[in-house]
Structure 1
């Protein structure tokens, strides 16, 4: 397992999957170990995935100062990884909460980013947090599912702050609540650093106006990929995210939730590879269909 030492002395681990040109991957959570990403539905057959375990997660060490869990501070670790690997610039893929970290990195080091893929990325860094109505709209589209009647009242209670997040809510985050999704959710139990997750987006982490201004000058091509059934972000939010960048394209994966590589690995890999190879714009992704659920 390769590691490098961050500027404050914290030992940071990363995992290599596949061969070929490196693709640096930032996990979400926030502050979830990178193991949940697997090989991103087979993307490792096309690129060498460099899966970063953020400090205090997975195989990376706990920092002496917990304040360094904040998203803007983690940018330094991403830059140290790039330097450690000897990359003049890099392709970067980020999932969920990791999207805000990737955006802060691209804002600070635009010359180091060759291509940026934001996968179901929650754009907190742009001042666009998910709203309760966004989540409820997406959740209501699942009304035909056999688990909906039990799960939806609990989902509403969680959004209102009168109920806790629990396993009953998990199906809303997957396009299909099948064996693979259930196994994926169950494995996540011990992958989170909850203390770090609370600090990740704490006060001072984001400066949306400054980030928007910096990203409006980013030369690198950007892919903003959303799941049709995802509530955070919804496809509409993904489109608003793409508008921040001068050279961005949007893909909405049909029938997908928050983990699109699990819902249709072939569609996901084909679309991401097309973008990374510079042919994404030649074969635009279909617009989302209405969920027949």
Structure 2
């Protein structure tokens, strides 16, 4: 019989938020795979438990190499508990690769539900929670970050992001540029910890607040795009807007998608406008008379 992979949620701040089953699973595990073994030891001491199983590290740097080792233990009948520094494994943390490999090998996968920075921030943000999407960490480079944000500029659902404190001001500035300075958002800092803070307001206001630096674990919640009717534009104007974005360095596919989002038109309609403009330019070039010099 194969073993079981247990994804164990850990507190995102307050140790009192640890689910009761966490201590039980850590005690009974044959193997505990931890993102940081030092943090795991502090966690087990706080919970008053003494793991009897083998403890191994499992983090971004060794995830690919260690996955097969853990899968072999699972197929051999071991109960493997995976924990990360905070929250649920595989949500912007190590775990997805191991879960996928375990499922492929027919291993049972279960979870100990625990605190989630995504859901906690969403709940306290004051923004709509009926529909939302989690976007993880934005790209570090400004150009890539702006491109990723433009992809969701028209997204109606509430958006949730993680961000490092030293990049928060730049990311909020990019959001204000792409989403609009008046788009409402909430920056949630140090959730469930002693210095928990939730700052709410328009993106422009949050940019100014973050300019002097912000410390701690950060989750950003951004209001979705407002509903609007499609903007009716002539094909030539659609093609011009795509051309402007291409000249700025965007690939044509991304430029077409961005124009479709900002106008509310189908991407196919924008694409057809670009093709028509190219054909018109080509035909115009063919019909240009050749001047002769006498």
| Bigger Rg, structure 1 or 2 | 2
What TM-score do you get using the length of structure 2 for normalisation?
A: 0.26
Q: Which has the higher contact order (CA 8 A, sep 6+)?
A: 1
